[in-house]
Amino acid sequence: MRRERSASNPRSGHPPRRQRQALLLGVLGVAIFGLTLPATRLAVAGFEPLFVTLGRSLVAAALAGLTLLWARPPLPPRRDWPRLAAFALFAIGALQWADLLLAAAAVAAAMPTPSAARWPAVSAADR
């Protein structure tokens, strides 16, 4: 009879170190992504939306660059470079505008507005 190999260590019942590391990195990524909206709302309270957008992009680019320096992956084949360049232009263009709009919406949400401007029907009934 043949025994099946298990992904976990059969003696301890714990997952291997790489699986725990992958799980923790995944949880960390989800937590960081989940904090971007509250962090953007806090940041636009004191800074312009464009400054917040550019600052977030600069931090992300620096972290990506450090990760590439640390991991030292091989360069992609030359035939993939045009496709990668097209994706990079899309990411810089469209996704930066989305980030800027998110920051601008956070500014608009944080601004106090009179209740008559927000709910004219309710304000008329209160008079």
Q: Does residue 124 lie in a domain region?
A: no
What pLDDT does residue 111 have? 63
What pLDDT does residue 50 have? 83
Mean pLDDT across 116-120: 49
Of the chain, the end-to-end C-alpha distance in Å amounts to 84
**Distance (Å, whole) CA 103 – CA 80:** 33
Burial of 2 (0-12, 13-18, 19+ CB in 10 A): exposed
What pLDDT does residue 114 have? 54
Q: Does residue 51 lie in a domain region?
A: yes
Nearest to 111 by CA among 44, 37, 27: 44
Tens-place pLDDT, residues 34-89: 998 888 888 888 888 888 888 888 888 899 999 999 999 999 999 999 999 999 88
- For residue 36, the SS3 value is helix
Q: How many residues does the chain have?
A: 127
Tens-place pLDDT, residues 10-35: 555 667 888 999 999 999 999 988 99
Q: Does residue 11 lie in a domain region?
A: no
Q: Which domain holds residue 62?
A: 19-72+81-106
| Cα 68 from chain centre | 18
- Cβ-defined contacts of 22-31 (< 8 Å, 24+): none
Tens-place pLDDT, residues 86-107: 998 888 887 777 777 777 777 7
With cut-offs at 50, 70 and 90, classify the pLDDT of residue 116.
very low
Q: Dihedral sign for Cα 67, 34, 91, 96, please.
A: negative
Q: Where are the beta strands (DSSP E) in the chain?
A: none
What pLDDT does residue 31 have? 94
Q: Does residue 64 lie in a domain region?
A: yes
Q: How many domains, in total, are found in the chain?
A: 1
Mean pLDDT of the chain: 79
- Please provide residue 40's backbone torsions phi and psi, each rounded to the nearest 5 degrees: -65, -40
Q: Does residue 7 lie in a domain region?
A: no
What pLDDT does residue 113 have? 58
Q: Does residue 127 lie in a domain region?
A: no
Q: Does residue 44 lie in a domain region?
A: yes
